[in-house]
Structure 1
Amino acid sequence: MKKSSILMIFGALLLLGLFKFPLWNITLGAPQYPDPLGMNIYIDGIEGVEEFDIQNIDGVNHYIGMKKIPKAEEMWEFTIFPQVITGMVILGVLIGILGFFGKVSYKWFLGWFVLMSVLGIMGMYDFNAWLLDYGTDLDPKAILKLTDADGNPLSYKPPLLGTAHILNFTAHSYPRLGGYGLALGMLFTLIAYFVGRKEAKTLKK
């Protein structure tokens, strides 16, 4: 089961890219901003794509009563997520090593993949909940109070994934290099499961 175990270890190690590269990116474009404003979301904080992007986004948001972009210490997720990723990398590598020496079966590879998938779904749910709060919990004393046709306050929630129009801004929300590395790593561990299953069937013959 050596080939599948190596794939498992490699897949788990790809998650380490999340400590270097952004997981997600949200970009805001508008006629008054020919160079779109953007923020990169890492597992341990949020940074502007350019030096003053966060400051400019906060300035625009202030007029409609949106909160400032949170600092790392203001969100518990930015403390927990690095710990979760570290734990999953260690667990994945350990499973791969044990599989290499025949101590665990290839089914453990699938177990890791399922657990990581559940954690990923929970992370996306939490991210979407933050976006919803960020775009709807507005300061009632805001300078601009815009409402829809029924008189309800407008929602300025950026999309979880894809493109949306918010006032005169066009918001784009997509994974970045760290996110693609995470998906690729999970794909490798899933492939490891199928390769391991094939190896196990070959040994039985």
Structure 2
Amino acid sequence: MKKSGILMIIGSALLLGLFVFPLWNIQLEAPQYPDPLGMNIYISGIEGEEEFDIQNIDGINHYIGMKKIPTPAEMWEFNTFPLVIGGMAALGALLGILGFFKVIHPNWFLGWLILMTVLGILGMMDFNNWLTDYGTDLDPKAIMKLTDSEGNPLSYKPPLLGSDKILNFTAHSYPKAGAYLMFVGMLLTLVAWWIGKKAKGNEAR
């Protein structure tokens, strides 16, 4: 159980990387922008890849009626997600310590992983809902009002994952370092559960 406890501590500690590194990145690529405009999405806010990227994206969005990139004060997620991630990291570390001293069964590690997976799925669903609202809730007084062949307003929703064409832009949406650290951390907790369960089985013989 000592080895599994250490892995559990390390795995949950990797979540703290989300406080330093971006979780997701969206880039807008177009002929008039040799260097793509990009924004890094952290658990506590959104920042441009370059100094004026957010300002330029907001300027483009203004013409088609899209909202400005939200500030942390304008989205409850940017206040809640740091608390959730910090809490899950602390809980995982506590479980790892208790597992190290054989106070709890390794199935607690699996329970933590299931809870973290559910929270991750809910977070992605919330992110997708935000992208949908961001790309479809347009200002009716916008300078440019573009419609499809049936007369419906165009959707400017960036893809949740992958690349998609939006007017003359190609939008790219992919995970960044924070997401990879979280994934590795969750994988380590799965390994910790498997090793701990195996050790418990050997002790019972």
- Report if TM-score (shorter chain) is over 0.5: yes
Give the distance between the partners of 1:164 and 1:199, measured in 2 at CA.
Answer: 48
Quote the offset at 1:21 in angstroms.
0.4
Instruction: Tell me the matched-pair count.
Output: 205
Determine the structure 2 residue equivalent to 1:170: 170
Determine the structure 2 residue equivalent to 1:64: 64
Determine the structure 2 residue equivalent to 1:179: 179
Give the distance between the partners of 1:187 and 1:74, measured in 2 at CA.
Answer: 33
Tell me the TM-score normalized by structure 1. Answer: 0.99
Give the distance between the partners of 2:187 and 2:203, measured in 1 at CA.
Answer: 24
What is the Cα-based RMSD across aligned positions, in Å?
Answer: 0.5
- Where do residues 69-84 of structure 1 align in structure 2 (5 Å cutoff)? 69-84=69-84
Quote the offset at 1:202 in angstroms.
1.4
Give the distance between the partners of 1:34 and 1:21, measured in 2 at CA.
Answer: 25
Tell me the TM-score normalized by structure 2. Answer: 0.99
User: Equivalent pairs: percent with the same residue?
Assistant: 71
SS at 2:118's partner residue?
Answer: helix
Give the distance between the partners of 1:191 and 1:73, measured in 2 at CA.
Answer: 38
SS at 1:68's partner residue?
Answer: coil
Determine the structure 1 residue equivalent to 2:25: 25
Give the distance between the partners of 1:173 and 1:190, measured in 2 at CA.
Answer: 27
- Per-residue Cα deviation, 1:53-84 (whole angstroms, up to 9, x for no partner): 00000000100000000011110000000000
Give the distance between the partners of 2:101 and 2:71, measured in 1 at CA.
Answer: 44
Give the distance between the partners of 1:164 and 1:200, measured in 2 at CA.
Answer: 49
Quote the offset at 1:203 in angstroms.
1.2
Give the distance between the partners of 2:149 and 2:192, measured in 1 at CA.
Answer: 54
Give the distance between the partners of 2:60 and 2:101, measured in 1 at CA.
Answer: 57
Structure 2 residue identity aligned to 1:108:
W
Structure 2 residue identity aligned to 1:121:
I
Give the distance between the partners of 1:186 and 1:73, measured in 2 at CA.
Answer: 29
- Where do residues 52-201 of structure 1 align in structure 2 (5 Å cutoff)? 52-201=52-201
Give the distance between the partners of 1:182 and 1:102, measured in 2 at CA.
Answer: 26
Give the distance between the partners of 2:141 and 2:20, measured in 1 at CA.
Answer: 39
SS at 1:179's partner residue?
Answer: helix
- Per-residue Cα deviation, 1:13-53 (whole angstroms, up to 9, x for no partner): 00000000000000000000010000000000000000000
Give the distance between the partners of 2:11 and 2:120, measured in 1 at CA.
Answer: 15
Q: Which runs of 5+ in 2 are unaligned?
A: none
Give the distance between the partners of 2:127 and 2:200, measured in 1 at CA.
Answer: 39
Determine the structure 2 residue equivalent to 1:16: 16
Structure 2 residue identity aligned to 1:107:
N
Structure 1 residue identity aligned to 2:68:
K
SS at 1:70's partner residue?
Answer: coil
Q: Which runs of 5+ in 1 are unaligned?
A: none
- Per-residue Cα deviation, 1:144-186 (whole angstroms, up to 9, x for no partner): 0000010000000000011110001000000000010011100
Q: Flag as ranges the 4+ runs of structure 1 deviating above 3 A.
A: none
